[in-house]
Amino acid sequence: MNKILFKSLSFTALLSVFTVPVLGADSSSRSGPAAAREQLKTMTVPEGLEVSLFASEPQLVNPANMDIDAKGRVWITEGANYRRWSNLRPEGDRIVILEDTDGDGAADVVKTFYQGKDVNTALGICVLGNKVIVSCSPKIMVFTDADGDDKADGPPQILFSGISGVQHDHGAHAFVFGPDGKLYFNLGNEGRQLKTPDGSKFIVDAAGNEVTGGGKPYRQGMVFRCNLDGSEVETLGWNFRNNYEVAVDSFGTLWQSDNDDDGNRGVRINYVMEFGNYGYTDEATGGGWGQKRTNLETEIPLRHWHLNDPGVVPNLVQTGAGSPTGITVYEGKLLPAAFQNQVIHCDAGPRVVRAYPAEPDGAGYKAKILDLLTSTDTWYRPSDVTVAPDGSVYIADWNDAGVGGHAMADQKLETMTGRVYRVAPKGHKASVPKLNLTTAAGCTVALQSPNNATRYLAWTKLHEMQGGAEKELIKLWQGKDQRVRARALHLLARIKGSERKYIDQALKDGNSDIRITGLRIAREQKLDLIPYVQALAKDSSPQVRRECAVALRHSKSPQAPKLWAQLASQHDGKDRWYLEALGIGADQQWDEFFGAWLGQVSDNWNTPAGREIVWRSRSKKAPALLVKIITDKATSEKEKPRFMRAMDFIPKSPEKDAALAELAAGALN
């Protein structure tokens, strides 16, 4: 709707939720630094914080995406050439660098890093040293600035190509550097596929599947992990509508937002359990959420995500109507404690930037909502949020009325607006900590930065040092900050010859997130996971056991079925996160894994927890047990549709046919 920010909310639905001015209204009085400063008066931040104006038009217009480098400079991709206005700026859109050289908290230098039609309304930018990754369907481009003149050296290298969703906000989105030294990124459901740089072939991921959203096996929007050079792509989650960005914390846990269909008040935030299906369309048929099905959810915002279907990972929190955009994990110390180590996210619809303070809930999480920056100005449309090296938070504002499908009120380049705000404690002077990347000690200081671009530089140098950095990394590993410990662990466990030593230490650690991180590192390094799962299979933390289940996915070890059965026997019958982790772990091996569990529980399978495992199973043995549940006098009429629905996801087999025939015969009698 408003340009890049609104994802197809109908005009009527929008008016019912947001107050907006009329399309095509004169925007000249809203343009310029004075108007931008006036807009600050409409903004609200929590007690103890203040918001200031870092930059505004004419320094930038329509900021589509943002990153902050290790020097504290703000990088912006602009979207003047948006959709049917793609020739508004004939020379193409810009990537600009905004810099505060006098330390007053406002940009006073603007540089054009690159300009061209190939970056028109680019939805992603990630600055990693002298490399700049730009996401702009149909391509993922890597620009280089080897000579440090703040200009792209030449045409970009193409990392991936063939992505659909050109000039569509459901296309390719931003990359982010993870604590494991890998890149994470996503495609909305119009992105459809990922191809080689020349566009000739589909990327084949680590599971051996072509990366397409057509249901073999992935559907709709997807999230990925890959090496820095684009190799070893993994598809980590799928069946999103428009998962606008992905954020990764220091433990390697993934967080996303996703946008609902027109006016369904179903915007959601997801903890992304790896290899999960997230339910935008029917897993089996690809049908939309509005199609009739057995066991429909009562409320449309829930129905929208097929949450009653087995095989759908639950949502962390649903936030109602909106148009979600940028997201980050705030791992700094400058903001109040309530925001520390939490997801911070932009929603351009209700004009808000907010956090979702989360806490463990069984094998997953539960979260609440905490506003960071709101405004009563109807042109405030936050598009991205990023953390600076000093821990300040910067927010990009596309700044538009936001009415009409894929339209914008701000249609003249000379009056087009765009702002960047800075949120920090009152009186906090903007600063950029000095870096010393020549020594291991200096690098470990940089590794503790709240700014991801700084951590990338530190990670790269420390990894190059290998054993030469071990002494300094151990100091962090032995500290009290669990997220800093996790960052150190990622590097210690990649020192050649010491991998198992530090993974073993992690698996015995008293902190469950560190144990999870250790198991994830072992999985990434393709070590034999069976001994590690054996050590953790009875862990007191259901989140650790969740990771054990995921680690068994596609394992061919003869011990894997028994271990899965052991994990399944600890399901409490209520924890949907845990149940879906079991389902992910049993993928492609349901007969073996489910059979091992049945062998373990024998005739005692018909318990509340056992019924849930049967409901989630795709084994040939499950249909007969579903019939027993459905025909059991203890099963209420309200429960029966749920177990009937489970039949739809079990592959066709003689066993399933026999079970359905038995049900039909019973219905006739």
What the block records as the tokens of 341 is 């180590």
Report yes or no: 121 and 82 within 8 Å, Cβ to Cβ.
Answer: yes
Residues facing 385 on adjacent strands: 395
Shared-domain flag, residues 355 and 483: no
Residue 637, C-beta contacts closer than 8 angstroms, at least 6 positions apart: none
Domain assignment present for residue 548? The answer is: no
Shared-domain flag, residues 51 and 165: yes
Q: What residues of the chain score a pLDDT lower than 70?
A: 1-28, 403-407, 668-669
Q: Supply the range of the domain harboring residue 198.
A: 11-278+313-425
Domain assignment present for residue 147? The answer is: yes
Nearest to 521 by CA among 561, 557, 492: 492
Domain assignment present for residue 264? The answer is: yes
Domain assignment present for residue 640? The answer is: no
- Summary count for the chain: helices (H), strands (E): 18, 28
What's the Cα-to-Cα distance from 495 to each of 192, 346, 437, 465, 489, rounded to whole Å? 38, 38, 18, 9, 10
CATH number of the domain within which 439 lies:
1.25.10.10
Which contiguous run of DSSP H or E holds residue 99?
strand 93-99
Shared-domain flag, residues 370 and 509: no
Shared-domain flag, residues 414 and 441: no
Output the pTM of the full model: 0.95
Residue 394, C-beta contacts closer than 8 angstroms, at least 6 positions apart: 54, 66, 68, 74, 385, 386, 387, 388, 420, 421, 422, 423
Domain assignment present for residue 198? The answer is: yes
Integer Cα distance of 198 and 159 in angstroms: 9
Q: What is the pLDDT of residue 549?
A: 98
Integer Cα distance of 9 and 27 in angstroms: 23
Give the total number of structural domains in the chain: 2
Shared-domain flag, residues 23 and 146: yes
Q: What is the pLDDT of residue 402?
A: 76
Domain assignment present for residue 93? The answer is: yes
Buried b (16+ CB within 10 A) or exposed e, 384-403: bbbbbbbbbbbbbbbbbbbb
Residue 112, C-beta contacts closer than 8 angstroms, at least 6 positions apart: 94, 95, 96, 97, 151
Integer Cα distance of 385 and 355 in angstroms: 11
Domain assignment present for residue 300? The answer is: no
Shared-domain flag, residues 439 and 394: no
What the block records as the tokens of 616 is 């989630």
Q: Which of 478, 500, 527 delimits the end of a domain?
A: 527
What is the end-to-end Cα distance of the chain in Å, rounded? 55
Q: Which of 527, 542, 573 delimits the end of a domain?
A: 527
Q: Which of 425, 454, 482 delimits the end of a domain?
A: 425
Shared-domain flag, residues 459 and 401: no
Q: What is the pLDDT of residue 668?
A: 67
What the block records as the tokens of 140 is 């993922």
Shared-domain flag, residues 352 and 480: no
Integer Cα distance of 507 and 519 in angstroms: 7
pLDDT tens-digit series, residues 549-587: 999 999 999 999 999 999 999 999 999 999 999 999 999
Shared-domain flag, residues 166 and 274: yes
Residues facing 77 on adjacent strands: 65, 95
Task: For the beta carbon of residue 185, count every other beta carbon within 10 angstroms.
Answer: 25
Domain assignment present for residue 533? The answer is: no
CATH number of the domain within which 88 lies:
2.120.10.30
Shared-domain flag, residues 417 and 443: no
Shared-domain flag, residues 15 and 48: yes
Shared-domain flag, residues 469 and 350: no
Integer Cα distance of 126 and 120 in angstroms: 16
Nearest to 460 by CA among 486, 494, 484, 499: 494
